Amino acid sequence: MCYGIKARMRPTEMRKNDLSEAFLALNALVARLRGPGGCPWDAQQTYETIKTYLLEEAYEVLDAIEQGSPEDLCHEMGDLLFQLLFLAGIAADRGEFDLQDIIEAITEKMIRRHPHVFGGKRVAGPEEVAENWEKIKRQENCSAETSSSLLRRVPSNLPALMRATRLSQRALRLCPAASQPEEIWPGVEERFEGLKKRFLEGDREGIGEKAGDLLFALVNLTRSWELNAEHLLRAANQKFIECFEKGEETIEP
């Protein structure tokens, strides 16, 4: 059982030696699978072939969080951790970097980006923490905050709704004046009317274009209320399934 006494322990209660041994054993298992005499399938995997599995495992972790099952979450996080170690193994085999490089780099980054914890900087609250994070990130990248660099740094492989939210958030830093819901709402109505017009005209391509514009405007609107469109649509999907299942129950003999 994944969810047991150890899973309920606070991190400070876990013995360091046990954690180190468990982590190193898993990393050694990955090396064994990819090494001589191991698994032929694992040995032939590359960055490209493993991408799909990485995404699947990340979404299964998200599903477990939403379902509220600690045991499922424990198992799914294990699957995701395995994929990350697997990627590190591929990198090590290619001579690019190894697991220690990854751990040291992220440790240094987190210390650098939390000067209010590891340095003498004081912050008033979470909002200032987020502002400092972005400032430090820009300093690390040695980049000016231009529309091109700011928006193009949003990963293109993010799910479309999630990416739209990130783009909206970053654009806000360049145009803070248009940030209030009441300022965004007229744009939503305008795009809806544009979609309605194309619908009445029977313009299939126009419907697609205007529907995309409306979706982005709705993402921007939800962002202005500090809501996440990706989470909202996931909840709506689940609600639809539950309503559909209830409907099926009513028509069964």
Q: Is the pLDDT of residue 103 over 80?
A: yes
Which CATH number characterizes residue 16's domain?
Answer: 1.10.287.1080
Q: Per the domain annotation, does 116 fall within a domain? A: no
Model pTM?
A: 0.69
Candidate from 43-47, 83-87, 139-143 with smallest mean pLDDT: 139-143
95 within 8 A of 36, measured Cβ to Cβ? no
Q: Per the domain annotation, does 120 fall within a domain? A: no
pLDDT digits (tens, 9 = 90+) for 19-60: 899 999 999 999 999 999 999 999 999 999 998 899 899 989
Q: How confident is the model at residue 10 (pLDDT cuts 50, 70, 90)?
A: low
Q: Which of 153, 148, 171 is nearest to 219 (CA)?
A: 171
Q: Per the domain annotation, does 157 fall within a domain? A: yes
Q: Per the domain annotation, does 191 fall within a domain? A: yes
Q: Per the domain annotation, does 108 fall within a domain? A: no
Q: Per the domain annotation, does 80 fall within a domain? A: yes
> Do 86 and 160 belong to one domain?
no
List, in order, residues 6 or more apart from 180 with CB less than 8 Å away.
224
Query: In this structure, which amino acid lies at residue 73?
Result: L
Total domain count, the chain:
2
d(CA 203, CA 195): 10
Write the CA distances from 124 to 18, 129, 130, 132, integer angstroms: 38, 8, 11, 11
Domain that holds residue 198: 143-251
Q: What is the pLDDT of residue 1?
A: 55
Write the CA distances from 82 to 3, 34, 77, 220, integer angstroms: 18, 13, 9, 36
Q: What is the pLDDT of residue 5?
A: 43
> Do 170 and 76 belong to one domain?
no
- Percentage above 70 pLDDT, the chain: 88
229 exposure class (CB count in 10 Å sphere: 0-12, 13-18, 19+): buried
Candidate from 13-22, 81-90, 197-206 with smallest mean pLDDT: 13-22
d(CA 24, CA 41): 22
> Do 161 and 76 belong to one domain?
no
- For every residue of 174-222, DSSP letters joined together read H-TTS-SHHHHHHHHHHHHHHHHHHHHHT-HHHHHHHHHHHHHHHHHHH
d(CA 88, CA 23): 13
Q: Per the domain annotation, does 110 fall within a domain? A: no
> Do 157 and 247 belong to one domain?
yes
Q: Per the domain annotation, does 65 fall within a domain? A: yes
> Do 91 and 149 belong to one domain?
no
